[in-house]
Amino acid sequence: MKFCYFDESGMGEEPVLVVAGIDVDAGRMRTTRKDWADFLESLSRRIERPVDEFHTRNFYRGNRLSRTIDGNERAEVISAILDWLAARRHRITFSAILKSRFESLRTAPYLKDLGTPWSAAAFHCVLTLQRAHQGLKGSRRQTVLIFDREVAEEDRFSELIKYPPDWSREYYDPPGDATPLDTLLEAPLFADSRLVLLIQVADMVAYLLRFYAELQEGLSQESYPGERKQIEEWAVRIFGMSLPGSLRYPERCPEGACGIFWDLAPETLRR
């Protein structure tokens, strides 16, 4: 069985929204959760204050509790987290939406079904996971989706997963007798990221990919010399841990259901 933990970055005024998920085999969950809890404990000792949740935006910018840690050390911590994630061989799924492009395409038939940029990105991640897992056998193909709380989206998205639009089958091309999204074990779950630690790792991945896209697209500027290079190095590492791009943007159907997510994505995150 697999569990995929999701969070997003860019729900405010940012020009890009990214939803990212950490795809974890159930057999490795216990060790992964313990290691992340140990990391939070070590960070608490470092700043001499309890840390029960890791917010990448605040940590990277040196805001709130992380203001006592200098920039170089914060960068070392982020690199160490990516090392930790790579060592556990968990895979990453993500979807990116350029918000201005979503608005310009809002009346397209497929987007009417999806409703919002968050729902579009989250559903794209689910379709990618379906493509990745449907070839597995037995319980290994069963997937539980766990999202950070997003109250305004939860009911609508749960309905979307339960009754996916017919066009979504084009994306993963199931056998004729398969039920829609048949790798999903249950409806998506929504949880407090303070209590579900791997959501915090997904938050870091989503933040770094969003900021990378904005820098590369000229939608954000460096705040210090060399920042673009540092963010690019982290993004390249994330790409190396991600599910193949051929699952995210299938070449066999470049138009219609498959093409809509390609059209919405910033060019630098289509790779």
Tell me the pLDDT of the chain (271 aa) as tens digits: 899 999 999 999 999 999 999 999 877 666 777 777 777 777 677 666 666 667 788 777 877 655 667 778 888 888 888 988 888 888 999 999 999 999 999 888 888 899 999 999 999 999 999 999 998 888 888 999 999 998 889 999 999 999 999 888 888 888 777 888 999 988 899 998 877 788 989 999 999 999 999 999 999 999 889 999 999 999 999 999 999 998 998 876 656 677 889 999 999 998 7
Q: What is the pLDDT of residue 242?
A: 96
The pLDDT of residue 136 is 87
Report residue 32 CA to chain centroid gap. 18
* Residue 5, helix vs strand vs coil: strand
* Distance separating alpha carbons of residues 51 and 32, to the nearest angstrom: 18
Report pTM: 0.91
For the domain covering 2-269, report its CATH number.
Answer: 3.30.420.10
Contacting residues for 243 by C-beta, under 8 A, at least 6 apart: 23, 91, 92, 93, 128, 129, 132
pLDDT of residue 1: 87
Contacts of 259 (CB under 8 A, 6+ apart): 253
Q: What is the DSSP letter of 175?
A: -
* Residue 252 CA to its chain's centroid (Å): 24
Q: Are 84 and 234 in contact (CB under 8 A)?
A: no
pLDDT at res. 188: 94
* Contact assessment for residue 232 and residue 119, using Cβ atoms and an 8 Å cutoff: no
| Residue-wise DSSP of 30-89 | HHHHHHHHHHHHHHHHHHTS------HHHHHHT-GGGGGS-HHHHHHHHHHHHHHHHHTT
